Structure 1
Amino acid sequence: MTTKRMEIEGMTCEHCEKTVAEALTSAGAAAAQVSWRGGQAVFEAADASDHQLTSAVEEAGYKVTSIAAEAERPTGFRAVVGDARSDYDLVVIGSGSAAFAAAIHAAGAGARVALMESNVVGGTCVNVGCVPSKAMLAPAEQRYRAGHHPFAGIERAALGFDLGQLVDAKAALVDELRQEKYMDLAASYGFTICKGLAEFVDAQTIECGGELIRAGKYIIATGGSPAVPPVPGLKDAGYLTSTTALELRQPPKRMAVLGAGPVGLEMGQLFMHLGSSVTFITRGEVASREEPETSQTLTAVLEQEGARVITNAEVTGVERVAGGRRVSFRHDGREEVLDVDEILVATGRRPNTESLGLEKAGIEVTKNRAIKVGDDLQTTNPRVWAAGDVTGHRQFVYVAAYEGNIAARNALQAAGRKVDFHALPRVIFTSPTFAAAGLTDEQANARGIKCECRVLPMSAVPRALVNRDTRGFMKIVAEVGTGKILGASMVADGAGDVIHSAVLAIQFGLTTDDIANAWAPYLTFAEAFKLAAQTFKRDVSKLSCCAA
């Protein structure tokens, strides 16, 4: 039985998919998979002729533009990507944002593509990361603000809530987006999703679900998982990760958060806003990879909201005690203990490289088990590329998607593209939000770049004043002499939206003068970027409102 692909014009909805599938079946086809978004159908032709199949679909009201056996590829394609013995032109191991970005580009170029997934399709972001966490952060913040807003004349209220109902709503949103943004897209673009654990058996072949599969090229996009530190007693006492914490149906009265990076800060403040008493314990400072002003501001925010923040501490042990867990830690030369109901481990993430058989394929890893790649994302096996969290690069969903696209272009089309992170934005969805792009002051100096910085407090930003919330700042790092913007950091409501202006400034080489002389709408947080740029040459406290 021959598998065929039919390109079809005129389909506009899911009903069209059903109509075309019925037409193909009536003409003798079997196992028809139809995508109205992709404008195509894939099916087993059985004994039906191309004429019979085409006539059936066109009699149903659609136009068939081509029909061909699935093995037939665009002219010249195979010469680029592989050999005639390959089952697929490209196999992607994983099914998250990096994997789908790679598969979408490859399928659009006419490649035969398969994704290998051992768990739930969609990867970290949609299933257990960005989407579910932000879906919980938003209602928790609304509840907190109702009882802590700064506006005279409006009563404050301690709103009740049903955490179980919030969790159910979050799960429904995750299911919807997984279907719409992943499962449906696979059908639209016509690539295959194979369920099973993929493992290399040699440099050119993988095994998945007991089946040997060979591809012209491979992309590893298996993502990462929460890293758990080797703290004595932690495993036996029990702990939460960012995944399991989002499934709690009752907030704990007392929670310890181990770590104060993006995940720890977001999750810790989430439970603070739901009424939990939260203590952060971290080996360094809060948001230690960012500017010192960021660490100081976020620490102050958390403490003002009632958290205890213990920095430069070492957790030495965990044990179960009556009613909960006891955390032992060393701080300021003293041994201390803390009794809590739950412990949230947020000490980073590790690449998912176990069970892949990388050694058999000649693929090297770093000491942290991340896959070694060059700037072009190629591994030490010339047939294999890697993208996303598994590379050990910055763990953002947009980085994963960016790398997946580059890996596919380089693997299939020898595009020679290289990753470039010099204007990369990053956001921590605390309240107020932190966002940054480009280099910090320390990073610029470490690279031997002479730079100067200006820090604008939110008390100098009109929008923050009318909002009655002046927590935060805007900082710009610029090159001495040229004024070229190298980096920017911000803590304020809406910082994640404002930072895109800084991304553009860094990416296209704009200077502080360019930003200082550009339009900025009054009474927006975007004005903070302009005001901060103006501080390089003038005292903005001596300007009238909306002064140019």
Structure 2
Amino acid sequence: MSDNDLHIAVIGSGGSAMAAALKSAERGARVTLIERGTLGGTCVNIGCVPSKIMIRAAHIAHLRRSSPFDEGIAAVEPSINRPRLLAQQPARVDELRHAKYEGILEDNPAITVLRGESRFIDTNTLQVTGTDGTESEVRFDRAFIGAGARPAIPPVPGLADTPYWTSTTALASDTIPDRLIVIGASVVAVELAQAFARLGSEVTILARSRLFSREDPAVGEAIETKFQAEGIKVLNNTQASQVSYTNEEFVLASNAGELRADRLLVAVGRTPNTDRLNLEAIGVETDRGSVIVNEKLQTRVPGIYAAGDCTNQPQFVYVAAAGGSRAAVNMTGGNARLDLSAMPEVVFTDPQIATVGLSEADAEVRGFVTDSRTLSLDNVPRALVNFDTGGFIKLVAERESGRLLGVQSVAGAAGELIQTAVMALRAGMTVNEIADELFPYLTMVEGLKLCAQTFTKDVKQLSCCAG
């Protein structure tokens, strides 16, 4: 068939789906994009964008209350007007959704937007139930599943009968509770816990194991130390066994005793939105709802592709978008692969957490003999002049060759410095090569060079900007 005859059905309109639709249209295909809810998916509407707005506002409140320069700049307890802060979120969300999703789709004649819920009838047909209840069929040559995910809810007795928060409802709240309990110990839970604490809540985190248990232990330890300094209570190895809600108060029974709060935030991960797609009927393989794809974003069914949070890929919007665009190339006759060997991860706590590649433990599991160095931030000039030296940078290398295998950092600008580490990994650089590179002085990214230098020398004995 010619490109103009190729019809691709795209389920969803978030990061992966939009990338798939736009790249498919760019390569000459005709696209029908099917969305059951709000265009734009999780990131712009209820995830990345509104959460980072709230986190930034909380950071400003924190700095007004306390900073390393309080001796010379008078601190002041901020007055928090949550309704006015909240009003800024949807305004910016609406702006970005229109600019990056609605407007682009309206202007692309090769893409038809169909509003409704999708369900596979066979490997070339979707049934779509419209928002008005009418049903139609969409025949396609290829299909892309970008249905995203929703907050997962643990089966804690009594929880379902309470007005608990998910990240979605927490971000939309026009009040800051006096007492907040957070169930969860990974990205969303920890980011929002700190934000609410800085806006005035007394926050307690229930971690089933410990903070960021899948990362290098130093990561969780550094964040827990920071949280303790800010008055955030972290209860490790703690789980709720019962939840009730009476007289506008949550009561949790746990192995740490009875806990009470005004609000309860549940943030223990996300569940793929695949349960209504009828995937089992057409043979698409899933694992606990996640669509299993290979490096070409193919499912086990020819012509059916998927990417993003509804798959077995890491749940980051940039991974979703990269997967969607590569799937589109493959659906239109190309040959593209998604390489996640140097995938950066960033957590927007303060200090930020950023990692790429292998941790020391992961590298050793894969058979590498490793050598690693950890540099505390009191050795980084930028951190010193900021009077903010909490955190570290760690480099993991292959012992014999010195080749960089991974980087973990907890630092104020860790999210900014990590991309340099990504490029070094992609290039197969050794720690000696990184140590010999030119890095601008008084930047946090210079910490990568300094950490690399510690493989062969004592950086405490170097001048400020020694090469």
In structure 2, the partner of 1:167 is 86
Q: Choose the corresponding residue for 2:64, options 126, 146, 158.
A: 146
Q: Choose the corresponding residue for 1:410, options 330, 346, 361.
A: 330
SS in 1 for 2:34: strand
Q: Deviation of residue 203 (structure 1)? A: 1.9
SS in 2 for 1:309: strand
In structure 2, the partner of 1:486 is 405
In structure 2, the partner of 1:95 is 13
Supply the distance in 2 between the matched residues of 1:189 and 1:443 (Cα, whole angstroms): 44
Q: Choose the corresponding residue for 1:225, options 150, 154, 163.
A: 150
Which protein has greater RCO, CA pairs closer than 8 Å, 6+ apart?
A: 2
Q: Deviation of residue 494 (structure 1)? A: 1.1
Q: Choose the corresponding residue for 1:312, options 215, 230, 237.
A: 237
SS in 2 for 1:455: strand
Q: Report matched runs for 1:119-268 at 5 Å.
A: 119-151=37-69, 152-190=71-109, 191-208=111-128, 209=130, 210-268=135-193
Q: Deviation of residue 375 (structure 1)? A: 2.0
Q: Deviation of residue 237 (structure 1)? A: 2.0
Q: Choose the corresponding residue for 1:273, options 187, 198, 203.
A: 198
Q: Deviation of residue 189 (structure 1)? A: 2.7
> Are positions 1:342 and 2:260 aligned together?
no
Q: Report matched runs for 1:256-405 at 5 Å.
A: 256-331=181-256, 336-366=257-287, 368-405=288-325
> Are positions 1:498 and 2:417 aligned together?
yes
Supply the distance in 2 between the matched residues of 1:361 and 1:198 (Cα, whole angstroms): 14
Question: AA paired with 2:34?
Answer: M
Q: Deviation of residue 321 (structure 1)? A: 3.1
Supply the distance in 2 between the matched residues of 1:155 and 1:301 (Cα, whole angstroms): 22
Supply the distance in 2 between the matched residues of 1:207 and 1:476 (Cα, whole angstroms): 51
Q: Deviation of residue 524 (structure 1)? A: 1.0
In structure 2, the partner of 1:461 is 380
2:213–2:220 CA contact under 8 A, matched in 1: yes
Q: Deviation of residue 77 (structure 1)? A: 2.4
> Are positions 1:473 and 2:392 aligned together?
yes
Query: Which string of whole-angstrom CA distances, capped at 9 and with x for unpartnered residues, describes residues 420-448 of structure 1?
Result: 11110000000111111111111111111
SS in 1 for 2:172: coil
Q: Deviation of residue 196 (structure 1)? A: 0.3
Q: Deviation of residue 287 (structure 1)? A: 1.2
Query: Which string of whole-angstrom CA distances, capped at 9 and with x for unpartnered residues, describes residues 492-547 of structure 1?
Result: 11110100000001111011011101111111101111100001111111112111
Question: AA paired with 1:430?
Answer: T
Question: AA paired with 2:159?
Answer: L
SS in 1 for 2:140: strand
Q: Deviation of residue 218 (structure 1)? A: 0.2
1:92–1:114 CA contact under 8 A, matched in 2: yes
In structure 2, the partner of 1:77 is 3
Q: Deviation of residue 137 (structure 1)? A: 0.8
1:423–1:503 CA contact under 8 A, matched in 2: yes
SS in 2 for 1:153: coil
SS in 2 for 1:398: helix
Q: Give TM-score scaled by structure 1 length.
A: 0.82
Supply the distance in 2 between the matched residues of 1:76 and 1:103 (Cα, whole angstroms): 18
Query: Which string of whole-angstrom CA distances, capped at 9 and with x for unpartnered residues, describes residues 185-239 of structure 1?
Result: 1123321110000111112100113111111100000011100100001111221
Identity across matched positions, percent: 42
In structure 1, the partner of 2:454 is 535
Question: AA paired with 1:308?
Answer: K
Question: AA paired with 1:458?
Answer: L
Q: Deviation of residue 329 (structure 1)? A: 1.2
In structure 2, the partner of 1:11 is none
Query: Which string of whole-angstrom CA distances, capped at 9 and with x for unpartnered residues, describes residues 303-361 of structure 1?
Result: 11001101112221111133410111124xxxx11100111001001111011111222
Q: Deviation of residue 123 (structure 1)? A: 0.5
Supply the distance in 1 between the matched residues of 2:280 and 2:415 (Cα, whole angstroms): 41
Supply the distance in 1 between the matched residues of 2:198 and 2:101 (Cα, whole angstroms): 32
2:293–2:312 CA contact under 8 A, matched in 1: no
Q: Deviation of residue 392 (structure 1)? A: 2.6
Question: AA paired with 1:363?
Answer: V
Supply the distance in 1 between the matched residues of 2:361 and 2:340 (Cα, whole angstroms): 17
Query: Which string of whole-angstrom CA distances, capped at 9 and with x for unpartnered residues, describes residues 6-40 of structure 1?
Result: xxxxxxxxxxxxxxxxxxxxxxxxxxxxxxxxxxx
Query: Which string of whole-angstrom CA distances, capped at 9 and with x for unpartnered residues, describes residues 378-400 of structure 1?
Result: 11211200110111311111000
In structure 2, the partner of 1:81 is none
Query: Which string of whole-angstrom CA distances, capped at 9 and with x for unpartnered residues, describes residues 249-270 of structure 1?
Result: 1100000110110101110001
Question: AA paired with 2:395?
Answer: I
SS in 2 for 1:195: strand
1:225–1:351 CA contact under 8 A, matched in 2: yes
Aligned residues: 460
Supply the distance in 2 between the matched residues of 1:411 and 1:162 (Cα, whole angstroms): 49
Q: Over alpha carbons, which structure has the higher Rg?
A: 1
SS in 2 for 1:103: helix
Question: Alignment RMSD, CA only?
Answer: 1.2
SS in 1 for 2:466: coil
Structure 2: any 5+ residue segments left out of the alignment? none
SS in 2 for 1:388: coil
Supply the distance in 2 between the matched residues of 1:380 and 1:524 (Cα, whole angstroms): 47
Structure 1: any 5+ residue segments left out of the alignment? 1-74, 79-83
Supply the distance in 2 between the matched residues of 1:406 and 1:485 (Cα, whole angstroms): 27
Supply the distance in 2 between the matched residues of 1:434 and 1:359 (Cα, whole angstroms): 38
Supply the distance in 2 between the matched residues of 1:419 and 1:103 (Cα, whole angstroms): 17
